[in-house]
Amino acid sequence: MTSLRCTALALSCALALGLAACGGGSDSPPPTPNPPSPPPVTDRIEPLDTATLPSKAAVAAPAAAASRLPPGAVVPRVELGPLAAPKLSAGDGKNAPLQIGVNRAVAATADAAALAARLQWHRLPDGSQVAALAFDSPGAQALRLGVRIGQAPAGAKLRFYGAPGSPVVEQAVPAQAQPGAAGAAPVLWGPDTPGAVGTLELQLPPGASPAQLQLAVPQLSHLSQTVEQALAAGKTESDIGISGSCNLDVMCTPALDAESRSVAQLLFTRDGGTYLCTGTLLNDTRGSRTPRLLTAAHCIDDDASAASLVTYWFFRAAACNGSPKIDPASTRRTDGAKLLFTDSGVDSTLLQLNSAPPANVVYAGSYFGDGVGVGASVVAIHHPEGDLQKDSVGAVTGYASCGENTCTSASADAGTLWQIGWTRGTTEPGSSGAAIWTQLGSTRYVVGALHGGSASCQNPGGADFFGRFNRAYYRGLGNWLTQ
């Protein structure tokens, strides 16, 4: 009997200990299980601010180039004479890029033999040889030289410069230059150089002969307006570009600083002239800092136009309403771009720059879901009339389908463009390709690129139309952002 009682007591104690070990002997509630992780967001890409990255990730500025001509060297000059009719095409307003230059034929250097006959070569102490040729187009505010390279020795260099004291831009001869007639080669457009006289300087490496060079300059672009001239000391607002008085200085809205740092002014040459549009740097899912730029298809839609691209960054006032003083960070990149994607149906193009953008840019985030509709607030940042950055504030008022010159209302399913009404600011020629952002939570995302419209300071109730980013994304643009 005693033995049975002891056995029962032992079992009872063991059970009590077991329950206590499992928490059964405690008055505390069982721990709350961790909630499941939220599913990854798959309808957007977050922005990337390079100013927040470690300093070792900063992009070094390109090294300054300099002329290698010996002091006192005589530079032969090609005189084109006054431009008979420098009238620029009015185009179709915002449905076309802003034309700032016209191309001129240069018969005197249209073939390689004619250009070679004009060059005077100088041998430098390192054994290399250098020569230069100037081109004069009276009345031009700036020039772009169109160079055809049929053949050049490895290591050959081109330099472009304009008025005395202006920057010198150096470019290596493109790898695609192959032996053969220069007339069959594509045109390489030099940067915009300020003044009516533009100079092309050529340098051959030691051991190379001028006979190995087949190069022609069959045309140049005569610019009546340029961005680079606005960066020079003493320039006024009229030298920059005069936009309508209702435009808003982006520097007066500090909350838009990140978006502003993703925007570039685009200068490119095509169809017999030089033009301005606006573009926006986009981030990808990996945050790779691959420099991909969104703009309008009606601005750039082919390889040649993309290759001619010059981008201007931080082209904005130094402070709120501080124009004509320009942000001291303003800079340009002159290495062109590659065409990745273009679709006229949504008027959207994606480019990849051939060189890295400057330090402290932002790679904008983008939204390609279905959560944006009529009533959504939007903001645009752009360069109207080639002016310093402006912003516009408004909302989505509908959907549309657009042809070359007209837009018609459409359903949400059929419309490939947003219809936007502005409550503050507007857009103008030169704004084409600019992005609109909408805010989701605390973050702004790109949701469109400017096609055109009728809004202006004189017509504030007019509508503008932006290609829907989600449509462009699923038509193929997104493939480049999710690699």
CATH number at residue 462: 2.40.10.10
Show which of 181, 208, 223 is a domain's final residue. Answer: 223
Quick check: helix, strand or coil at residue 67? coil
Quick check: helix, strand or coil at residue 240? helix
Degrees to nearest 5, angle at CA 336 with 334 and 341: 150
Quick check: helix, strand or coil at residue 286? coil
Mean pLDDT of 140-160: 95
As a whole number of angstroms, the distance between CA 418 and CA 401 comes to 9
Q: Taking the model in full, what pTM does it have?
A: 0.88
Cβ atoms within 10 Å of 81's Cβ, excluding its own: 9
Mean pLDDT of 158-182: 78
| Matching residue, tokens 């309008």 | 296
Residue 24 lies in a domain: no
Residue 397 lies in a domain: yes
As a whole number of angstroms, the distance between CA 173 and CA 419 comes to 45
176 token code pair: 């695609």
Residue 388 lies in a domain: yes
Cα-based distances in Å from 103 to 83, 91, 137, 162, 478: 10, 16, 11, 17, 35
Show which of 204, 223, 242 is a domain's final residue. Answer: 223
Alpha-helix residue ranges (DSSP H) falling in 231-350: 237-240, 257-260, 303-307
Quick check: helix, strand or coil at residue 338? strand
DSSP designation for 375? T
394 token code pair: 């408004």
90 versus 227: which is more confidently predicted? 227
207: alpha, beta or left? (left if phi > 0; alpha if psi -120 to 50) = left
3 versus 92: which is more confidently predicted? 92
Could you tell me the residue range of the domain that residue 209 belongs to?
Answer: 83-223
Residue 196 lies in a domain: yes
Cα-based distances in Å from 356 to 62, 282, 313, 361, 389: 10, 13, 12, 10, 21
pLDDT in tens, 279-303: 999 999 999 999 999 999 999 999 9
Closest among 219, 201, 178, 168 to 65, alpha carbons compared: 168
Q: What is the residue type of 132?
A: A
452, 92 Cβ separation under 8 angstroms: yes
pLDDT in tens, 419-467: 999 999 999 999 999 999 999 999 999 999 999 999 999 999 999 999 9
Looking at the structure of the chain, the number of domains it has is 2
Q: pLDDT band at residue 315, thresholds of 50, 70 and 90?
A: very high
Comparing 113-122, 205-214, 323-332, the range with the smallest average pLDDT is 323-332
As a whole number of angstroms, the distance between CA 480 and CA 262 comes to 18
Count each helix (H run) and each strand (E run) in the chain, helices first.
Answer: 6, 30
Show which of 223, 245, 272 is a domain's final residue. Answer: 223
Closest among 130, 131, 140 to 162, alpha carbons compared: 140
Residue 442 lies in a domain: yes
pLDDT in tens, 31-87: 555 655 555 568 999 999 999 998 766 677 777 899 999 999 999 999 999 998 666
The burial of 483, by beta-carbon neighbours within 10 Å (0-12 exposed, 13-18 middle, 19 or more buried), is given as exposed
145, 217 Cβ separation under 8 angstroms: yes
Residue 183 lies in a domain: yes
341, 282 Cβ separation under 8 angstroms: no
As a whole number of angstroms, the distance between CA 385 and CA 367 comes to 28
| Matching residue, tokens 């001869």 | 173
- Please report, for the domain that includes residue 195, its CATH number: 2.60.120
List, in order, residues 6 or more apart from 479 with CB less than 8 Å away.
Answer: 341
Strand partners, 480: none
Backbone angles phi, psi at 61, to 5 degrees: -70, 145
Residue 456 lies in a domain: yes
Cα-based distances in Å from 143 to 21, 80, 157, 234: 85, 12, 19, 20
Q: pLDDT band at residue 179, thresholds of 50, 70 and 90?
A: low
Residue 466 lies in a domain: yes
As a whole number of angstroms, the distance between CA 261 and CA 361 comes to 5
Q: pLDDT band at residue 273, thresholds of 50, 70 and 90?
A: very high
396, 428 Cβ separation under 8 angstroms: no
3-state secondary structure 77-110: EEECCCCCCCCCCCCCHHHCCEEEEEEEECHHHC
As a whole number of angstroms, the distance between CA 218 and CA 80 comes to 12
As a whole number of angstroms, the distance between CA 110 and CA 95 comes to 34
The burial of 304, by beta-carbon neighbours within 10 Å (0-12 exposed, 13-18 middle, 19 or more buried), is given as middle
